Structure 1
């Protein structure tokens, strides 16, 4: 395209000095393109009259300026006499390559005030709904995206040509438009643009280019004047964009939605401000969620006010927001659950008995209003469960639990059998739940439950079951909190038992007979006719169970060989080996001794001879003997309680025990211990070496170490073995 008159130009408003649009425009039109910043003196640039001296200049003369000129705020045009010649060239169009809606509106307002007849075209590098709305409200003549399917320069040229021809070249009769290398484009877009330059034509063009997903021009009475739907989503609707024309909102949407949308149109027209609204649309692909920006139009269309409705499909965003809200709700619930669990744990420290512990746990969980019920069952020796206590408004369900024998394989039994937390959802319809419990759940509004094993050091005391009316209760984080609660309850039960035993003046002594256990000591004594006696058993902080066992009647090498071949022994080490006796350290995979210790029992003696074991333990007067017997039966099937006796403990003060320890030491041993203690031999790092202690005593270092070790063994023996017992 060429212009015979060189006195005209295109003004290019941009904030980017490196924009390629100016070069492309100039190459396509072969006329001057004047690039200016939004802060430049646009009013001077847009003057349409040239001074007389400028008219006499030849455009081809030696003083002809470059056809691509820049004006920045740093070089403002103070007056027309100071501007270069090219800046007096009449602008045939203003192209705005801006991204900021507010800046675009301000520049368009300045142009409309100074040169209202000059066409304005907004050409952002990346468009937005806000920018399109700003162009609409400021009466831009066209809106062209540079990243669209159509070449933006072609669109700009088409727009300028159509506007000039439709106005009878009102911006300059002396200028004629011809095509230098190709015929005038006659595309449907250009013809449509030319024919559509009515009061609403510019809105139609902008709608066709900025589109989010849907855009409409809607009248004040809800009538569709224009409709544009993106081609890749048009098939989702039962009514096409063309079929919408002339219809009202109430014929397109259900009554409730139509009223809401009409209300948004009314607010937009009444306030004259852009409104936002979200709404749902039923499509062949299901319910879709849309967000709309509703922009008022100043001109009347078909005699009434109207709005431009720009809608974007936000279904995926709405889904993400719902998921985020759900996660936030879950986090809030989890925080509340953590607080409840923490409060329960705090109260367990002061609980005086197991009954008090279990009752307090159930009541506090229900009082939190997060759960509608909670109950606890204990494990019996027959492998079944027995109801102990419960709380909550789920009376029908709890009554059913109290009367029921737990002989079905459901979540509660699995929790005890596996030692892992189990969850159940949709209980009223869950066929894995026994029918009587399902019916009770329907009556009490129970939807889900979690079954938490109450355990400590692999000993399971029972199960805590918590009920909820929430369908999606007991998430991963919630289950982790309950698992911790189950372990804490187990630890507290054991601690209470130990405390009761420790402070009792009178204890209960229980004697058990065990026939044919499956552990190493039973198999060894039955095969070799030896006797195995337990010296001590305990658990490390890492959870490993160790036993120190003395075997009479068998050499250490034979014991080691048999231990390494036995499946219940993980490790075995020879501690002492005599002619016909030895002491070994064993690490076991399971142990009845450990089970007894976890139930608050003090083991006084354990011996196994010819495959038959005798176990003597002490428990507090408040201990549940049946519970202890049942726990031992879980490990050793053929267990029998053969004796129960009350034993009075001798009251011994701390001073009496100290004197008893000192009486067992020789003078030399006591002197060595005192010199080592006060000399810092036991500190880390040591304040005195063994040689320095020996020198102070006037003996050799080996002699000093001999006295030291014998003295320490006497004291530790009194501490660990006085009265016998394990641990």
Structure 2
């Protein structure tokens, strides 16, 4: 290939003329891409004297002794209109340089490498120069998808476009000046030259002619080609133009078109799936109806073989399936004997919950994560799985599991779409939960056991016959609360002494003795169990401490992020353990006067401060007869004045009595 190398050396050599005083930088840039550099004095006359048609790019300082560099560039272009140019800027604003002919600038401080890059860029953007290029080529030919080769009547390649690199493996500039036979297989060169000579003599290729043949790639392999030939005359000679397309490329393009058609069909299927999911979600009136409808859509009448949807139960450390649909009859019953997807075993459903992202099992038969359920799945023809977190913002509401009967059914695009489907379902679930909350009180109930002696209630009962029952809590300040409890089995003095030693108790006041024990008001910091639960939207339903252990039942809205609450309180309090997680539904008919709704309506009419003052007064015995605490004592507990207390109580009572006697 010596002929190609020699031609490449001459064809790719670039000549740069520099006018200015930064010769060292420009010389270094020219060396980076092996260009010939001409230097001229930093004057307009010297530049014009050194300029000729061999110069490919003019580099000028922005400021010259006798004028501006851009003005010099413009003057030279009156003679050489397609000349590429680069302006060297020392400091200050960049001059207006335009973009046609190709022009760019670079700051001197950037150095040689950026300058070399800018020179290459403007040269690559340069329009073809000279009569031959103007006669034959435009940018579409130079950058088109098909290889274009122009050969003169001596078989020398005069032009090759960028696509020649794709078809033959050569740099287009390297083949210019070489014989075209370098692109022909060795055994076919002689017949090719004979045919070419006939065309030169008789001009028999006057019109575009389609032929098939074989070419030679740079790596030596033969290439099946489809060629279109044409000939013309230029400067007294003959030029032959060939448009060359690799046959394998044609097949690749057909395969690409087929793949694109398949992708469009898949995209249409996915869009249709999302629309159908949205439709069933809109029609559903409850979460349960929604969950079953989604399974039916995706499996019974949809694209998947089997589907189930479930929820996380932290107390049982499992994902519990709730609804299912599809052809895998008995699958969930079969796997229910095992701990289906315990949150610690790394199974696909658990992983979707923990990672909050779609988990894919490409092959049930080989993926170790699916080993506990493999046999039951394979018996029913299930070969791949995708588990999808059903989530609203950062809260995971459940898991949707989808199964297919072929290996690798869930690619990255499908997984991304399913993640959006999971979010769509989560959004709809949250909306329907909020709607149901207007007519029902759906709650998640959490039961904990606490054995932390540092907690006041458990600590005061450890090793004694004291029992403490939590009665309620009201906020006092941003950093303290009033906690009300009934204490049995201990003297008030002993309880006050224990409270004085407790880090979370700031004050303890005995309110009065009852059948169940002595009522106490404890002023506490916000580091108690009840306060921590309240900060996550949970309320303590009951808490009873005895023998150094406490049982705590708390309630959350059904839409709450149970995992975040459990993780927070178990991390905050040593010895805190989740025992149970239960769904509760206490629907009350409004027309029937259900107490749940009446209570919510009445309390909802109060401001937060009115409710706090009213509950504090009630729990501290202000409304007892005889009163266990005076208004001044209640006000002191809350850190407010007595008149302020009376004002809040009067307003709160007015709201309650108005709702009771005048409301609909």
When normalised by structure 2's length, the TM-score is 0.44
Rg comparison, structure with higher value: 1
When normalised by structure 1's length, the TM-score is 0.41
